[in-house]
Amino acid sequence: LSGGQQQRAGIARSLINQPEFILADEATGNLDTVTTDEILDLFDRLNRQGCTIVMVTHEEDVALRARRIVRLRDGVIEADQRMRPPATVDASQTDPFLLPGSSATRARHGNAPGRLLLRLRDVRVGMKTLMMHPLRSMLTVLGIFIGVASVIWLLAISEGIAHKANQQIEQLGANNILVTTSRPSGDQVKTKVYYYGLTEEDCTHLENTIPSITLAIPFYRRTGREFRYLDRMMEGEINACTSEYRELYQLEMLSGRFITPNDAETLSNVCVLDYQVAKKLFRHEDPIGRSIHIIDDFFKVVGVTKPRAEIERIKGTSAGQDFSDNVYIPLETYWIRFGEAYSTGNNGGRAVSQITLRLKDQDDAIATGHAVEQALKRTHLFVDFEIGVPLELLQQARNTRLMFMAMMALLASISLVVGGIGIM
């Protein structure tokens, strides 16, 4: 083919593809004047139908047919001149070089089939790009997979931790307030000998003066005590408590009964064993009705509790509870039998390790917690107590969980965006 024929064949090949954009580099360089005018007229009609055309030429008369002229010299723009306003797209115009029902015509007119074809073309181009660099694409997809999997894994772990924390807090009771004894800091103490901690009087005072409190349940805990039965010995924890303790911590009886109000009134030397204590001291024997030696006295076994899961100590309160190796005795009996040397609290009163305050309505929990703090500060020389409000801790745990989940979602989004950029 001659140069002019090759030029016309190249233009025809471009038009058959129904383009929306044409870059014509010296499109009329090898054509005669008549053919040049025909080609430029065709470009003008295509432009009015919505096709963007960029012509590159060294001929002034060809450039003057354009609506905008950008002049370059040695790769630098010297002038940018608007010759005519941009063409107004007229969808009603037809052209012998464009079939009325062609995909390009439908796409420009905004028909749904045309848009679908364009989307399919984008998919083909994307797949082609991926196949051009298979290793890079595989590594990018692997990075996205590992990133998303890591985020899901972290979310699952955080969900499990939050669920466990919520269970621990809920076990303490959403409508309860926990007040525990704590050693005062060194800068509060000015003498070598001093009494500190909660007392029986604190329990009675709080129950009688704060209207939202329906019940105050005290108990005293001593660790590292020796329990003996015949020649068998073990160390465990004494829990001197009232009859409400069982309901408070949801203890179930394996055999026998729990401590009753009558045991406290009569100062009975009775005890209830945890399952592990009964197993270690009595092995295959029935412990009910037998006596064990605690500190300096004997206590008759009246019941054995079923194994109970530990309530771990949570942030904001020291009210965690390990129920293994426990022996429960009446609180009044403990105070009387073991003397003031073991049970002296603030101002010389009978000491308790913890007071659980049960409320009428859990909505009053936070306000009542502040009222309890102020009441104890007025009667105590030191800040020798800690106040834990499970409802408040539960709300804080849920808020922290939501913030953590939002952060993980943000990290997942960043991972997906970075992976997408790598593919593109």
User: pTM for this structure?
Assistant: 0.55
Lowest mean pLDDT among 143-147, 253-257, 397-401: 397-401
Q: Do the Cβ atoms of 173 and 321 come closer than 8 Å?
A: no
Question: What local confidence, expressed as pLDDT, does residue 273 receive?
Answer: 95
Q: Rounded distance, CA 329 to CA 306, Å? A: 16
Q: Which of 24-33, 170-179, 184-193 has the lowest mean pLDDT?
A: 184-193
The pLDDT of residue 107 is 46
DSSP string, 305-364: EPP---B---TT----B--TTEEEEEHHHHHHHS-GGGSB-GGGPBEESEEEEEES-GGG
For residues 12 and 405, which has the higher predicted lDDT (pLDDT)? 12
CATH architecture of 3-98: 3-Layer(aba) Sandwich (3.40)
Q: Domain extents for the chain?
A: 3-98, 134-164+400-423, 179-361
pLDDT digits (tens, 9 = 90+) for 206-227: 999 999 898 899 999 888 889 9
